[in-house]
Amino acid sequence: MTAHLRQLIDVTTGTTGYTGPLTRTQVERVAAAYNGRGPLAVKYGQDTVARIDRAAAGTVPLYFYER
């Protein structure tokens, strides 16, 4: 998964081996691309960033796979 995310970040930023911060829009695009293409993928990207914002505010938990 990490390699895939790395590739999506490079594609989204237009820079191979990108290092640095990502904008909110870039994170949405990476999350959408991870999930595919089309309107549902775009919605997933938006939902991802909204969930991260709410988790940072302490209003919802983030979910992780159980071990």
Label residue 66 by pLDDT band (50, 70, 90): confident
Residue 38 backbone dihedrals phi, psi, to 5 degrees: 100, 180
DSSP state of 16: T
pLDDT of residue 64: 78
Segment 10-60, tens digit of pLDDT? 999 999 999 999 999 999 999 999 999 999 999 999 999 999 999 999 999
Do the Cβ atoms of 42 and 32 come closer than 8 Å?
yes
pLDDT of residue 5: 92
What is the rounded distance in angstroms from the CA atom of residue 42 to the CA atom of residue 35? 9
pLDDT of residue 44: 93
Where are the chain's structural domains?
Answer: 2-56
- The amino acid at residue 62 is L
For the entire predicted model, the pTM comes to 0.81
